[in-house]
Amino acid sequence: MYQRQMKAAVEAGHTPVLRQGRRQKPEGPTISQYIETFIARQENREGTVETYGYRLRTHVVPVFGDRLVSEVTRGEYRDFFAVRKGAMALSTRSNLKKVLSAMLSMAVEDGLLPMGNPVAGLSLPRGKRKKAELTWAHVVALAEEMGPEFEILVWFGALQGLRSGEARGVRRTHMMHEGPEPVQLVEEQWQRGKAAPPKSLASKATLAVGSFLAEKYTEHMARRDKPLSADALRQRRRRGARTSIDEYFDYVTVSRHRTPVSRSELPERFNAARDRARARGVDVPEKTTFRDLRDFCDAVLVASRADPRHVQARLRHARLDVTMNVYGYLVWKMDWENAPASFEELYGIPAPSGLPEAALVPRAARQRRGALAPLTE
């Protein structure tokens, strides 16, 4: 019928009018609405669910919140991540992509995306990774400027490769520092004001402890357990502050309020220590963060040609390829002459062959050399 009408119009000298089908209006929830559905269905730990919600509501809702789930194309998602290359680190964009992809995969299962997940397989443009190439002189200066109450946190990061929450969550029962082979248990972290499991199953580990860290820990705990003076007790009572450690007695580091160090307090103290070190002439990179201590730990082990399995065990990665591909390029020359002790004293594992002689000088010899240095000038 339609074809005959078209033919008749042409024969009569008229321009045929093409029939336009009815375009169905897209239906379904908006991105903003579906994000709330996605979050409500999650059965992960409370902290993980909060992180998912934060990433999606902060970054995705302002851009796509009013759009229907079925409307946003793969190209739009690609552009979404591309424009954030300069302002957002690759790791942050990668984590955002993971949670967004998980949400869109659920939308596929719900029948909202018949053509599949538009983010699956999408490669992210790599921006310039921001890293601080720390040296032993930098790390020693940072530890000194953190002060005796918090110095141990720097060594937890630089020697054990602990993340911020893991370092703040170390308990006395985790440090088995006495005996011929001292070890440290990584079993939990301090997160959002309470103890929580570590980042992943692979993050749980037993790490070798060098004699240097064991001595630092002993010195730290001696100060930690020293009773407050009568004057300090009066001042604390006047301020309404804690006068005893109570339930936080088991934690290795506590704040001035006698509670575990919070997520915000550590970077504040670390940044202040970094600025003080720079003010006294130590060229600590300006953007150094506590996270860079973990990269430093990796760089020392890789540059020392340690067994890759030892590096993986120290950084606690589930797969060796993550250690070598993601962190293996973080290598720079180490100033072993400025290290506080020998390689074995610092990391508690045998020194790899080929290390420079300066990496084998024990702590006692370094201290004697430091004490004699002014006399030889």
> Quick one: CA torsion of 253, 257, 263, 266, rounded to 10 degrees?
-60
Q: Across residues 39-63, what is the average pLDDT?
A: 89
Q: Where do we find the tokens 């909202």?
A: 112
| In the predicted structure, residue 245 carries a pLDDT above the cut 60 | no
Rounded distance between C-alpha atoms, residue 361 and residue 146, angstroms: 25
Q: Given this model, what pLDDT does residue 324 score?
A: 72
Write out the residue limits of the CATH 1.10.150 domain(s) in the chain. 31-109
Q: What is the mean pLDDT of residues 199-205?
A: 85
- Which residue do the tokens 């300090």 mark? 232
With a pLDDT cut of 70, the percent of the chain lying above it is 84
How many Å is the maximal CA-CA distance in the chain? 114
Cβ proximity of 300 and 334 under 8 Å: yes
Comparing C-alpha atoms, which of 158, 54, 58, 131 is closest to residue 331?
131
pLDDT number for residue 372: 47
Among the ranges given (47-51, 60-64, 216-220, 322-326), the one the predictor scored with the smallest mean pLDDT:
322-326
Neighbouring C-beta atoms of residue 248, cutoff 10 Å = 16
**Res 370 pLDDT > 70:** no
260-274 pLDDT, tens digit per residue, is 899 889 999 999 999
Under CATH, to which class is 136-376 assigned?
A: mainly alpha
Please compute the mean of the pLDDT values over residues 46-57 and round it to a whole number.
89
The pLDDT tens digits for 324-359 are 766 655 567 889 999 999 999 999 999 999 899 999
31-109 sits in which CATH class? mainly alpha
| pLDDT at 279 > cutoff 90 | yes
The pLDDT, as a whole number, for residue 374 is 43
Based on the number of CB atoms within 10 Å of its own CB, is 19 exposed (0-12), middle (13-18) or buried (19 or more)?
Answer: exposed
pLDDT average, residue stretch 147-153: 95
What pLDDT score does 224 carry?
Answer: 85
* Amino acid letter for position 216: K
Specify the domain boundaries for CATH 1.10.443.10 within the chain. 136-376
Q: Mean pLDDT across the stretch 58-64?
A: 94
Selection from 51, 55, 57 nearest residue 34 by Cα: 57
- Decide: 188 and 195 in contact? Cβ < 8 Å: yes
30-35 mean pLDDT: 94
Least confident of 2-11, 149-158, 356-365: 2-11
Task: Say if CB 175 and CB 184 are below 8 A apart.
Answer: yes
Candidate from 30-39, 45-54, 340-349 with smallest mean pLDDT: 45-54
d(Cα 342, Cα 357) in Å, to the nearest integer? 10
Question: Residue 12 has which token pair?
Answer: 């009569």
